[in-house]
Structure 1
Amino acid sequence: MIIDSLHNASKYTNLHPLFARAFDYIQKNDFSSIENDVIIIEEGLKVIVNTAQGKSKEMSLTSFECHNQNIDIQVCLQGTETMGWKPREKCNNPKGDYSPEKDVLFFDDVPDMFFQLNVGQFVIFFPEDVHAPMISTDIIKKLVFKVKI
Structure 2
Amino acid sequence: MVIDSLANAQKYAALHPLFAKAFEYIRTTDLASLETGKFEIDGDNLKGSVSYKTGMTTEESIAKFECHNKHIDIQVCISGHETIGWKPRETCTQQRGEYNEEKDVVFYNDTPDMYFALGAGQFGIFYPEDVHAPMIGNDNIKKLVIKVKI
Question: Normalization by structure 2: what TM-score?
Answer: 0.97
Aligned residue for 1:115?
116
Number of matched pairs: 149
1:34 aligns with 2:34: yes
Cα offsets for 1:74-121 (capped at 9, x unmatched): 000010000000000000000100000000000000100000001110
Question: Normalization by structure 1: what TM-score?
Answer: 0.98
Q: Distance in 2 between matches of 1:50 and 1:4?
A: 20
Aligned residue for 2:53?
52
**Once the 2 structures are TM-superposed, how far is the Cα of residue 29 of structure 1 from its aligned partner?**
1.1
**Once the 2 structures are TM-superposed, how far is the Cα of residue 17 of structure 1 from its aligned partner?**
1.1
Q: Distance in 1 between matches of 2:148 and 2:18?
A: 7
Q: Distance in 2 between matches of 1:61 and 1:110?
A: 7
- Of residues 34-43 and 115-124 in structure 1, the stretch that sits farther from structure 2 once superposed is 34-43
Partner AA of 2:60 in structure 1: M
Q: SS where residue 101 of structure 1 aligns?
A: coil
Partner AA of 1:22 in structure 2: A
- Of residues 26-35 and 120-129 in structure 1, the stretch that sits farther from structure 2 once superposed is 26-35
Q: Within 5 A, what are the aligned runs for 1:83-122?
A: 83-122=84-123
Over the matched positions of the two proteins, sequence identity in percent amounts to 58
Partner AA of 2:146 in structure 1: F
Q: SS where residue 32 of structure 1 aligns?
A: helix
Please list every run of at least 4 consecutive aligned residues from structure 1 whose deviation after the TM superposition is greater than 3 angstroms.
Answer: none
Q: SS where residue 17 of structure 1 aligns?
A: coil
Q: Distance in 1 between matches of 2:146 and 2:132?
A: 15
Q: Distance in 2 between matches of 1:28 and 1:89?
A: 36
Aligned CA RMSD, in angstroms, stands at 0.7
Unmatched segments (≥5 aa) in structure 2: none
Aligned residue for 2:5?
5
Partner AA of 2:105 in structure 1: V
Q: Distance in 1 between matches of 2:136 and 2:149?
A: 26
Aligned residue for 2:82?
81
